[in-house]
Amino acid sequence: MHNAAFAALGLNWRYLAFEVEPKNLRAAIAGARAMNFAGLNLTVPHKLLAMELVDELDESAKKWGAVNTIKFQPEGAVGFNTDADAITRSLREDLKLELRGAKILLLGAGGAGRTAALKLVSENVAELYLVNRTPSKAEAIAGEVKKQFPSVTVAVGYPRAKMDLVLNATSLGLKADDASPLDERQFSLKQTRAVYDMIYRPAETQLLACAKAAGCLTANGLGMLLHQGAKAFEIWTGRTAPLDVMRRALEQSVYGH
């Protein structure tokens, strides 16, 4: 999506992917800077580690406690977070979801789940339920949420009430034989209006297929991927991201059509 956007704006830039071991992340960032890279994106498992490795943190990275974008400035490497805003932007665009006052069941308490939980409560959702295979991690996020946003109702475990949204932030669904991230004995898909799966490949996880069959509105994580990328593009280039071009390029590269 970035290379398509560079081409559309006539920028002689390139976006390249490198696989870096966490033990080499510091050297990789310094090396990229030495080679006059404009910036970097970082993905799992580097987003927390990078907090310690940049020279300066933008407000977004401070607020959400993770760095997925670096811009090299003359003074040093600045860390940003473009993931958090992308989550809520995609929920609004793709599900027409009103976040203020919403009741949400969030599955997953890894890095993506944590960012989603903090961002959602900052948008004044009414109730947030956290479910995770390892409950202690959901408890830790619930504690962090309560500390930062004392007025929000946050609980660990499945709700009995109806929800506006079930949001999957686990990695379950990436593989065809994965179990569902949702225990339907504890929470029926009939209990929610919409389901969002952060996974975008496959385009329709089993969770989304079941949600559709149950009559829910559904969306996958492509919009989130698009918007975190578009924001990073704007940080590096200072230009408005050509969203349509980027979306088309993403669809082409992820789904082949």
- Site residues (vs ligand ATR, CB under 6 A): 44, 108-113, 132-134, 137, 169-172
Specify whether the CB–CB gap between 182 and 207 falls below 8 A. Answer: yes
The 10 Å Cβ neighbour count of residue 213 is 9
Residues contacting residue 204 through CB under 8 Å, at least 6 positions apart: 212, 220
Which lies closer to ligand ATR via its Cβ, residue 41 or residue 170? 170
Pairing between β-strand 153-156 and β-strand 217-220 as defined by DSSP bridges: unpaired
91 contacts 97 by C-beta, under 8 angstroms: yes
- The nearer residue to ligand ATR, 31 or 45, going by C-beta atoms, is 45
Nearest approach, Cβ of residue 142 and ligand ATR (Å): 14
Using the minimum distance from each CB to ligand ATR, give the nearer residue, 134 or 240: 134
Spot the catalytic one: 47, 103, 119, 231.
47
Cα gap 108→132, rounded to integer Å: 5
| Secondary element (H or E) of residue 128 | strand 127-131
Please confirm, yes or no, whether 47 is among the known catalytic residues: yes
Could you tell me the smallest distance in angstroms from the CB atom of residue 44 to ligand ATR?
5
Least spacing, CB of residue 123 vs ligand ATR, in Å = 19
H helix or E strand, kind and range, residue 209: helix 206-213
CB distance 25 to 49 below 8 Å: yes
What pairing do the DSSP bridges indicate for beta strands 39-41 and 192-197?
unpaired
Give the residues across from 88 on adjacent strands: none
Question: In this complex, which beta carbon is closest to ligand ATR, that of residue 43 or of residue 252?
Answer: 43
Which residues lie across from 130 on neighbouring strands?
Answer: 106, 156
Task: Give the three-state DSSP class for 251.
Answer: helix
Cis status of the peptide bond prior to 74, with omega within 30 of 0: no
Comparison of 4 and 86: residue with beta carbon closer to ligand ATR:
86
CB of 214 to ligand ATR, least distance (A): 21
**End-to-end Cα spacing for the chain:** 14
In the bound complex, what is the minimum distance in angstroms from residue 42's beta carbon to ligand ATR?
A: 11
Q: Specify the residue, 28 or 169, whose C-beta has the smaller distance to ligand ATR.
A: 169
Q: Which residues are catalytic?
A: 47
